[in-house]
Amino acid sequence: MRWCFLTISVLIFFSCQTKKVQSPQSGAKKSYQFPKDWVGEYTGTLLIESLGKPNKEVPMGLVIQPTEKDSIYIWQLIYGENKIKGLRDYRLIIKEPENGIYAIDEQNSIVLDAYLLGNQLSTRFSVGKAVLSATYQKSNEGIFFEILQGDSSPIHITGGIDSIPKVESYPIKGKQTALLRKKG
């Protein structure tokens, strides 16, 4: 019962938050073949929100293209006006598509495991003491991109009494969102 109350409380809290960038609506339940149906060039505006700081907006792009190898796709992120300085030239590696397992190779010894659940590709990783979750969700509007960033140390530990499991709460300190629309 307490789990149900906690889950409903969290859902209500997040559904009441005002958002400038809207994620794709669940009403559009089209299934996309990944990564084939995602191929293209996408652009939009990245909204960067951080606790205690003013919001920022920067242009953002995502390019997904096949390569000569069926198991590797170009996965380029572009941040800002300078398309050379802002380029992140990654590769999407198809590992076990039947199990939704992929990887994003940053081509600098960093390889992030990625998981496809429905129309959403997700990665979760840490850099130093920060934990980040990045998602790319395909819809008929384009690709909704989101990063949540926070600390890896819990700020609260509750529960742990009788049969109630211990629950650790982690801070979220920043969020980046963009609706990237396909060009052409």
**Tens of pLDDT, residues 26-83:** 445 677 899 999 999 999 999 999 999 999 999 999 999 999 999 999 999 999 999 9
CA dist 164 and 63 (Å) reads 46
pLDDT given for residue 32 in this prediction? 86
Look at residue 145 and tell me whether its pLDDT is greater than 80.
yes
Look at residue 118 and tell me whether its pLDDT is greater than 90.
yes
Compute φ and ψ for 131, nearest 5 degrees: -115, 130
User: Cβ(181)–Cβ(44) under 8 Å?
Assistant: yes
| Tokens 């390019």, residue located | 63
pLDDT bracket for residue 5 (50, 70, 90): very low
pLDDT given for residue 29 in this prediction? 61
Nearest residue to 181 via CA among 62, 78, 90:
62
The number of folded domains in the chain is 1
pLDDT given for residue 13 in this prediction? 37
User: Cβ(105)–Cβ(91) under 8 Å?
Assistant: yes
Residue range 159-170, pLDDT digits in tens: 999 999 999 999
Question: Which CATH number do you get for residue 155?
Answer: 2.40.128.20
Arithmetic mean of pLDDT, 125-130 = 95
Arithmetic mean of pLDDT, 146-157 = 96
Nearest residue to 92 via CA among 100, 101, 77, 102:
102
Return the sign of the alpha-carbon dihedral for residues 106, 100, 129, 22.
Answer: positive
pLDDT given for residue 184 in this prediction? 81
b or e along 2-40 (b: 16 or more beta carbons within 10 Å of the residue's beta carbon)?
eeeeeeeeeeeeeeeeeeebebbeeeeeeeeebbeebeb
Enclosing domain of residue 38 = 2-182
Look at residue 9 and tell me whether its pLDDT is greater than 50.
no
Q: Is 100 in a helix, a strand, or coil?
A: coil
Return mean pLDDT, the chain. Answer: 88
Percent of the chain with pLDDT over 90: 82
Q: Is 29 in a helix, a strand, or coil?
A: coil
